[in-house]
Amino acid sequence: MSETATSDNAAPVLIEDREAVRIITVNRPDKLNALNAATIDALQAAFTAAADDDRVRAVVLTGAGPKAFVAGADIAEMNSLTPVQGRDFSLRGTRMMRFVETMPKPVIAMVNGFALGGGLELAMCCHLRIAAEHAKVGQPEINLGLIPGFGGTQRLLRLAGRAATLELCLLGAPIDAARARELGIVNRVVAAAELEAETMKIAAQLAASAPLALRGLLDCVNVGGECNLGEGLEYESAQFGLMFSTNDMREGTSAFLERRKPTFDGT
């Protein structure tokens, strides 16, 4: 695979391309990849670039170093914020994570360690989450006299339900990857040594899929999660119909009938 990567190891976010898969790495290992304002802005820029780049068909998000995906928001930076600044910080992170959630391309969180507070919130806005078996996740903000500020209560509620959301947020204790899998917070749990290979295997599969169909699927799930069943079904039917205008649909169905592997070009 061809690879290109940034060379500035001081950058808060690193970018690497492996063919059609873009890897975005939060690069503050000395701070367990904690999210400060600069890192949030760098993530916003990185995901915007990935969304706009036709060469990128899938994105993997992870954290630098062996200990953490993202261990939370930067407490040192938050400690001196005023109420207005605190709200602005929350909105800054929320906007970035909502952008990720509504990306037209699939995003996989490769959870290689602690995903706490803002880190779990960042993982939850991704479309898939693959976790190393030693990873721990949680919303410990209550222990700081805070509540989740980047969508934690809302996405946990949708992923894991009311009981699990209240348990994680009220008690503030992390859970292991196996328990997170049981609750539906992560999709798969694998051995740490297999995490990158398994994640990249899934990313490569997504990158080889029909881009317009992937976008339609992501749109349907996003819209359906915010509307009633009837409206969601109507939206799905409309998206289904739109697929018949694409070359990828003709290629996919023709390849099936001809018993060959399809090649999708995103048109």
Task: Report the number of distinct structural domains present in the chain.
Answer: 2
Here the CATH number for the domain that contains residue 248 is 1.10.12
Chain centroid to Cα 90, Å, comes to 18
Percent of the chain whose predicted confidence (pLDDT) is above 90: 96
Q: 19 Cβ partners below 8 Å, 6+ apart?
A: 1, 2, 204, 207
Q: Does 47 lie in the same domain as 158? A: yes
Per-residue model confidence (pLDDT) at position 10: 84
Residue 78 has pLDDT above 90, yes or no: yes
What is the arithmetic mean of pLDDT over 68-85?
Answer: 95
Q: Which tens digits make up the pLDDT trace of 239-255?
A: 999 999 999 999 999 99
Is residue 101 included in any domain, yes or no?
Answer: yes
pLDDT the model gives residue 121: 98
> For the chain, what is the largest distance between any 2 Cα atoms, rounded to a whole number of angstroms?
64
- Does residue 113 form part of some domain? yes
The residues assigned a catalytic role are: 121, 141
How much is the average pLDDT of 105-128?
A: 98
Tell me the average pLDDT across 59-83.
Answer: 95
**Dihedral sign, CA of 122, 42, 207, 211?**
positive
Q: Are 190 and 245 in contact (CB under 8 A)?
A: no
pTM: 0.93
Mean of pLDDT values over 41-63? 98
> What is the domain extent for residue 26?
3-208
Does the pLDDT at position 234 exceed 50? yes
* In-domain check, residue 262: no
